[in-house]
A = this chain, B = another copy of it.
Amino acid sequence: MSNAPTEQANRLDRRKARTRAALIRAAQTLIAEGRTNVPILEITQAADVGMGSFYNHFETKEQLFEAALEAVMDGYGQLLDALTADIEDPAEVFACSFRLTGRLYRREPELSLVLLNNVLRLLSADNGLAPRARRDIAAAVDAGRFTVEDLDVAVTMTAGALLALGQLLHNQPERDVEETTDRVTEDLLRMFGVQRRQAHRICSLPLPDIDAVRGDGSAA
């Protein structure tokens, strides 16, 4: 009996969490379709929740899309962690993650366009790709593989490279995504003090199969 109020509170919490998750899923679908310009009513209808409950969770549409993007990025970051778990050289971990991420620009063009417009904001996010890039670069510095004097600058250059790579691939649809991404990754490794020949070797290693882990190959 004494548990009843708590159970009721838990039920409420669970329902709130379900509503929030439904809104985020709807926003992710809209992002993947490149349709972030829709009215809030259309989002709540897609999520099958009341229009009013939107404002219990988010103040603006932009806030929802940001939360949705961060959730996508965090999920993608966890995927990268799983794919690189067995790689011992931290320089290879960094390179492998970047090479896989660059390839997404052709696999998920709609999502990528939204990413292009948000990479810099995501750079200062607490979860997702930026803290993972920071962790991987720091590990490579600790292992004596990278020579980096300012970790913030290194993370920033990585985000800038990812952003610019996306724009280049977008501007030149015929450009080879694998060759270009691997070249940019090599450039980053050279920037971090890896010798040219070694950087080339690292960026020529076979990549883990992202579809094997992911299953359906979808973004969210």
Binding site for B on A (CB under 8 A): 116, 120, 123-124, 147, 149-150, 152-153, 156-157, 159-165, 167-168, 171-172, 175, 180, 183-184, 187-188, 190-191, 193, 196
A149-B183, A183-B153 known; A164-B163 Cβ under 8 A: yes
- The residue that A160 contacts in the complex, of B147, B163, B172, with Cβ under 8 A, is B163
In the assembled complex, the Cα of A153 lies from the Cα of B172 at a distance in Å of 11
Instruction: Judge whether A120 and B164 touch: CB under 8 Å.
Output: yes
Instruction: Judge whether B164 and A152 touch: CB under 8 Å.
Output: no
Determine the chain B residues whose CB is within 8 A of the CB of A124 once the complex forms.
167, 171
A187-B191, A190-B190, A191-B187 known; A163-B196 Cβ under 8 A: no
A195 nearest CB across to chain B (Å): 11
How many copies of this chain?
2
A46 nearest CB across to chain B (Å): 29
A98 nearest CB across to chain B (Å): 13
In the assembled complex, the Cα of A116 lies from the Cα of B156 at a distance in Å of 14
Instruction: Judge whether B156 and A168 touch: CB under 8 Å.
Output: yes
Instruction: Judge whether A165 and B171 touch: CB under 8 Å.
Output: no
Determine the chain B residues whose CB is within 8 A of the CB of A156 once the complex forms.
164-165, 167-168, 184
- The residue that A153 contacts in the complex, of B160, B168, B193, with Cβ under 8 A, is B168
Determine the chain B residues whose CB is within 8 A of the CB of A165 once the complex forms.
156, 160
Determine the chain B residues whose CB is within 8 A of the CB of A160 once the complex forms.
157, 160-165, 167
- The residue that A180 contacts in the complex, of B153, B159, B175, B183, with Cβ under 8 A, is B153
A122 nearest CB across to chain B (Å): 11
Instruction: Judge whether A187 and B152 touch: CB under 8 Å.
Output: no
Instruction: Judge whether A152 and B123 touch: CB under 8 Å.
Output: no
A66 nearest CB across to chain B (Å): 15
Q: Which residue of B lies closest to A190 (CB)?
A: B191
